[in-house]
Amino acid sequence: MISVFHPELHRGGAQQITYELFKGLKARPDIEPFFMAGVDPSQRAFYKAGARITGFDGRDGEFLFLTEGYDYWWHKTSSPLLLESFADFLRLIRPDVVHFHHFLVLGLDLLTLTRRVLPDVRIVFTFHEFLSICAADGQMVRTFDKSLCTHASPVRCHQCFPERGPDQFFMRELWVKRHLSVVDAFTVPSRFMIDFYTRWGLPAERISHVTNGQPDYSGGVHPAEERQPRNRFGFFGQLVDNKGVWVILQAVRRLRAEGFTDFTFEINGDNLKYASEARRTEIELFMAEEEARPFEERIVFFNGSYHVDQIGPRMARVDWCVVPSTWWEIFGLVISEAWMFRRPVIASNVGGPAERIRHEVDGLLFDLGDARSLATTLRRASGEAGLWARLSAGITLPVDRDAMSALYCGIYAAEALEMTA
């Protein structure tokens, strides 16, 4: 299992699911898994003199890949010694399967290197976004107007990055596809991604849909369900631009201006430092204004970061979970987490959330990036009698970690399988 980062060092859905899969496979008696995670070069404390791959915290089967000289355009390392160490690691472990969950900070060239070192190994690659296709952080969002992008081309990509000519994007595509050509099987956590990758040129028969799975953090015990009205909302995630917390704050401003204040919103998350300067300033200004209000007049409460073992108490304080992502949002782990506690989800109407949430059955969808649409939905959710109970009853519990692990074992054994949730 090769992960972009270790979830205990750098939070994110891709690394969390990779680690969940590692733990799920570790529980099986017929598999001996190993987990290797990249390290953000800023985390220099984990770098040891002369080391290139090192164990992690004394844990069995867990390792860190100490990235050096990474080229973010070509997605490769400039360190021959690091590549040599990775090759030696493969020869030592001699795996039957190498499952890549990313190439960021690791390098596309690890794919072709794996094939050269172990010609008969089965290589699996899971796409957790569109970085292979899109140089704009794999978001498929136009840089100049923040609109969603549906496909890439040298000219379209040049429009997002005028400093790079169309020929550079043509060469980038050839480079990425050359390394991906050694992959035996691709997987995606949401079906809509298959259309993006097949339009880009990958063969549909080599792409399988495998939904993400997690343990049930509720332990089968759901928070008390007696309160009325159902006017408490929660956001869980990172405070970066594409997660859309700014849409929430604009919706709250709109509702407050209209005189509607009979609701509360709890913001759970961190990493505001990774937001753009404009969005960070907008959020910090709102936070300062809210904290300056008398406590009884506050609507929004910022609770800071959290870990999975804190989800229960925080989820118990809200009735609805809001996922206002302003990009395609590949899957949305928070949707699964909310469903574990029978909390309906209000989400943007594109990508993974639109695929997973059944509008008016187990949740509600609103127009992407539209604060007015979200405000209207929040007002309805706060006051419509019976709505919360109906949607909560319509929730189907998400796939768990063991089921996901079993499905991936089928992929490893060259079975084209599918699981839905």
Note the pLDDT tens digit of each residue in 32-88.
999 999 998 788 888 888 889 999 999 999 999 999 899 999 999 999 999 999 999
Same domain, 241 and 122: no
Residue 223 belongs to some domain of the structure? no
User: Can you give the residue range of the structural domain that contains 371?
Assistant: 232-393
Mean pLDDT value of segment 389-408: 96
Q: Nearest to residue 346, comparing CAs of 373, 315, 313?
A: 373
Other CB atoms closer than 10 Å to residue 304's CB: what's the count? Answer: 8
Q: pLDDT per residue over 159-199, tens digit each?
A: 999 999 999 999 999 999 999 999 999 999 999 999 999 99
Query: Domain with 277 in it: what CATH number?
Result: 3.40.50.2000
Same domain, 311 and 192: no
Mean pLDDT value of segment 117-132: 97
CB under 8 Å to 65, separation ≥6 — which residues? 2, 36, 37, 38, 39, 52, 53, 82, 86, 105, 106
Q: How far apart are CA 184 and CA 208, in angstroms?
A: 11
Residue 371 belongs to some domain of the structure? yes
Give, in degrees to the nearest 5, the angle at Cα 204 between 198 and 206.
Answer: 125
Residue 254 belongs to some domain of the structure? yes
Residue 190 belongs to some domain of the structure? yes
Same domain, 8 and 126: yes
Q: Nearest to residue 249, comparing CAs of 383, 334, 371, 376?
A: 371
User: Alpha-carbon torsion 212, 271, 9, 103, what sign?
Assistant: positive
Mean pLDDT value of segment 232-259: 97
Secondary-structure breakdown of the chain: helix, strand, coil percentages, each rounded to the nearest 5: 40, 15, 45
Mean pLDDT value of segment 384-399: 96
Same domain, 114 and 258: no
DSSP code of 143? T
Question: What is the identity of the amino acid at 373?
Answer: S
Please check the confidence at residue 97 and state whether its pLDDT lies above 50.
yes
Same domain, 125 and 267: no
Q: pLDDT per residue over 203-242, tens digit each?
A: 999 999 999 999 999 887 676 567 889 999 999 999 999 9
Same domain, 205 and 253: no
Which tokens in the block code for residue 267? Answer: 């913001």
Q: pLDDT per residue over 3-30, tens digit each?
A: 999 999 988 899 999 999 999 999 999 9
Same domain, 154 and 256: no
Same domain, 76 and 145: yes
Model pLDDT, residue 415: 60
Lowest mean pLDDT among 7-16, 108-117, 294-303, 330-339: 7-16
Same domain, 121 and 101: yes
Residue 218 belongs to some domain of the structure? no
User: Alpha-carbon torsion 333, 334, 339, 345, what sign?
Assistant: negative
CB under 8 Å to 245, separation ≥6 — which residues? 235, 237, 239, 267, 269, 283, 324
What are the two backbone dihedrals, phi and then psi, of residue 208, each rounded to the nearest 5 degrees?
Answer: -120, 145
Same domain, 364 and 294: yes
Residue 310 belongs to some domain of the structure? yes
Model pLDDT, residue 363: 98
Which tokens in the block code for residue 142? Answer: 């136009």
Model pLDDT, residue 219: 81
Model pLDDT, residue 243: 96
Confidence of residue 414 (pLDDT cuts 50, 70, 90): confident
- What pTM value is reported for the model? 0.94
Residue 222 belongs to some domain of the structure? no
Q: Which helix (H) or strand (E) element contains residue 410?
A: helix 401-412
Please check the confidence at residue 421 and state whether its pLDDT lies above 60.
no
Mean pLDDT value of segment 290-298: 96
Q: How far apart are CA 322 and CA 312, in angstroms?
A: 16
Mean pLDDT of the chain: 94
Give percent of the chain above pLDDT 90: 89
Residue 111 belongs to some domain of the structure? yes
Model pLDDT, residue 149: 97
Q: How far apart are CA 129 and CA 94, in angstroms?
A: 29
Same domain, 384 and 404: no
Please check the confidence at residue 419 and state whether its pLDDT lies above 60.
no
Model pLDDT, residue 15: 96
Same domain, 173 and 208: yes
Q: What is the tally of structural domains in the chain?
A: 2
Model pLDDT, residue 308: 81
Model pLDDT, residue 420: 41
Model pLDDT, residue 225: 64
